[in-house]
Amino acid sequence: MTLAILHPGEMGAAVAGCLVRNGTRVVYASENRSCASIERANSEGLEDLVALDRTLAATDAVLSICIPTAAVEVARSVAAANFKGIYIDANAIAPSTTREIGQIVEATGATFVDGGIIGLPPTPTRITRLYLSGSQSPAIAALFQNTRTEAIAMEDAPIGAASALKICFAAWSKGETALLAIVRALAEHEGVDNALMSEWRRSMPGIAEQSEHIVQRAWKAWRWAGEMEEIAASFEDAGLPSGFLANAEIYRRLSDLKDQKNPAREAINSRLKAQ
């Protein structure tokens, strides 16, 4: 099987590299991609076919890993090329968005597989899990056998199941990070940050340390704002209340910290306050 990855970002390139090292031919199109994306793709052994149409014509399957806000447009671009292979969407999107994408690609003859990634990009010492649902899930999961991407086919699960699992997991992990970030910002505003940290350490072990996660993750905020919107849509579709649009705003206010690893707490707090 030849598989194409259209956006070799940090996660996409690493997951694709697992396939390359397992003997799968992985291709991509460097046209309109950034220098960083091209460098990542080349370092993982991906084959550059330059143009999207040439790439899609040469591939049996497409793996979409991009920012949530681009997932539908990427699917449309593939459908416009009349792609008829297997389309795997592994983005952090609502189950309803997943089903919409499935309809888009299947309308032109493709087979759709729903995916949900949990964890950081795979490395020689770290495993990433890729949950899959849909009729071709076992075939795609088999490509990752014995790699640092553990692919799990959710037997008899409908399209949307893998995305739903990802959404539920991220709702807590990234929602908690956002909530603790604004709690710390309020504590700093009122001059009780040190006292709060001390009390957390006494009564809720681990929370003080977790409240530092925003410092480590703020550089990803530009990607997570859209993910929070997808999480909010998931709760709304289920008739459940949530505050995840507020979390989207939290991450949106931090979006200019992109690529700034471990910014100062003051930089975070100042951006969280309304201007």
Query: Crossing angle for the helix pair 244-253 and 221-237, nearest 10 degrees?
Result: 170
One domain for residues 151 and 186: no
One domain for residues 35 and 144: yes
pLDDT number for residue 275 = 65
Query: Nearest-CA neighbor of 233 among 96, 100, 67?
Result: 96
**C-alpha 120, offset from chain centre:** 9
One domain for residues 147 and 169: no
One domain for residues 213 and 268: yes
One domain for residues 173 and 219: yes
pLDDT number for residue 31 = 93
pLDDT number for residue 133 = 98
One domain for residues 24 and 68: yes
Among the candidates 157, 179, 211, a domain finishes at 157
pTM of the model as a whole: 0.94
Tell me which residue range forms the domain holding 101: 2-157
One domain for residues 153 and 20: yes
Among the candidates 157, 180, 211, a domain finishes at 157
- What is the β-pairing status of strands 111-118 and 128-133? antiparallel
CB 63 within 8 A of CB 113: no
Element at 19 (helix H, strand E): helix 10-21
Q: Which CATH number characterizes residue 106's domain?
A: 3.40.50.720
Instruction: Report the C-alpha gap between 59 and 54 in whole angstroms.
Output: 9
Q: Which CATH number characterizes residue 168's domain?
A: 1.10.1040
One domain for residues 51 and 17: yes
Q: Domains in the chain: how many in total?
A: 2
One domain for residues 71 and 177: no
Q: Average pLDDT for consecutive 10-residue bins of the chain (275 residues)?
A: 94 97 97 93 96 96 96 97 97 98 98 98 97 97 98 96 98 97 97 98 97 95 96 97 95 94 94 85
pLDDT number for residue 73 = 97
5 φ, ψ (degrees, to nearest 5): -115, 125
One domain for residues 153 and 246: no
pLDDT number for residue 259 = 82
One domain for residues 124 and 252: no
One domain for residues 184 and 266: yes
**Helical H segments across 81-123, by residue range:** 95-106
pLDDT number for residue 6 = 87
Among the candidates 135, 157, 179, a domain finishes at 157
